[in-house]
Amino acid sequence: MTNPSPQRPPDLPGLRHAFGFAVFNALSYQIVLGSPMILYAKSLGAGATVLGVVAGMMPLLVIFQIPAASHVPRLGYRRFMVSGWSLRVMFIFLMAMVPLTSGFLREMGRLSLLLLLLFGFNLSRGISSAAWLPWITNLVPGESRGWYLARESACANLASAVTLLLAAATLGEQPAAWQYAATFLFSASMGALSLWFLRRIPDTPCVETESRSREPVPWRAIAAHPPFRKLLRLNVAWSVAYGGMTAFTVAYLKVFAGMSSGWILAA
């Protein structure tokens, strides 16, 4: 017996805005969380440890979804997401100004400022993203979620590829400070456009459920559950193998292979 294929959802109001948000959000985050940011940090003299910090902030700070989840019902899905994403975009605009401070800040000062802004960006992203999947779960019917998620991933991946090509063309061989500033400004502008779509996605009821059970959470039993342990091993192995791949690849191609910034991004 074959599983039924995912069904296309009915013409849900605002679903096209969710796809628009996915596209412009990918045009934004691929620069801040991807190779262009690693290249800029490397140009400021960042060593292996600092590059690891830059690459590891996002997966580390996303854990703040857990404490943030209890606050989502007080604001609602859309308001919670829009507030956090607006703060996130503000941090990108501030990052776009960092390369322009070369006239009065040394490389170490610019790198420290960049790390501070990246921390704020990833923290606001980690907290606000706690509302995204519950919101989409309420918006898209269960039988159509596979259809939606597949197309959302396709839109985001296509936009990410376009972003890297545009960044490669902007940075070129030996990028100057203004070229990095222009690249980050593009990211901030796309993030601002993604907010336009985000605000137009219909909000859904967010009912706070309070657990009245005083029984402790069976963490040991959960950890011993075979499917959970299998999934945990898979995620740990994937994180160890892939977590530093972008930072390592960019640093290797830049330092040892002698490739230009543009070619690294286009590769």
- Tell me, what's the pLDDT at 10? 61
Structure tokens, 204: 């859904």
Find the mean pLDDT for residues 34-60: 93
Q: How confident is the model at residue 1 (pLDDT cuts 50, 70, 90)?
A: very low
- The answer to whether 5 and 144 have CB atoms below 8 angstroms apart is no
Q: Is residue 8 part of a domain?
A: no
H helix intervals, 132-176: 132-139, 145-171
Q: How confident is the model at residue 218 (pLDDT cuts 50, 70, 90)?
A: confident
Alpha carbon distance 113, 105 (integer Å) = 10
Q: Is residue 212 part of a domain?
A: no
- Tell me, what's the pLDDT at 223? 83
Structure tokens, 205: 């009821």
- Least confident range from 76-85, 155-164, 253-262: namely 253-262
Alpha carbon distance 82, 84 (integer Å) = 6
Per-residue model confidence as pLDDT tens digits over 235-251: 888 887 777 788 888 88
Alpha carbon distance 31, 186 (integer Å) = 9
Q: Is residue 102 part of a domain?
A: yes
Find the mean pLDDT for residues 232-237: 87
CATH number at residue 35: 1.20.1250.20
- Tell me, what's the pLDDT at 2? 53
Decide if pLDDT at 186 tops 70: yes
> Whole-model pTM?
0.87
**Element (H or E) spanning 28, and its range?**
helix 15-32
- Residue 163 has, within 13 A of its CA and on its CB side, a CA count of 30
Q: What total number of domains does the chain contain?
A: 1
- The answer to whether 36 and 183 have CB atoms below 8 angstroms apart is yes
Decide if pLDDT at 11 tops 70: no
If you average pLDDT over every residue of the chain, what do you get? Answer: 89
Place of tokens 């459920």: 209
Decide if pLDDT at 64 tops 60: yes
- Least confident range from 79-88, 117-126, 140-149, 213-222: namely 213-222
Decide if pLDDT at 211 tops 50: no
Alpha carbon distance 8, 146 (integer Å) = 9
- Parent domain of 98: 15-206+219-266
Decide if pLDDT at 171 tops 90: yes
- Tell me, what's the pLDDT at 255? 81
Which residue did the predictor score with more confidence, 23 or 238? 23
The contacts of residue 57 (CB under 8 Å, 6+ apart) are 118, 119, 122
Per-residue model confidence as pLDDT tens digits over 138-170: 988 888 888 889 999 999 999 999 999 999 999
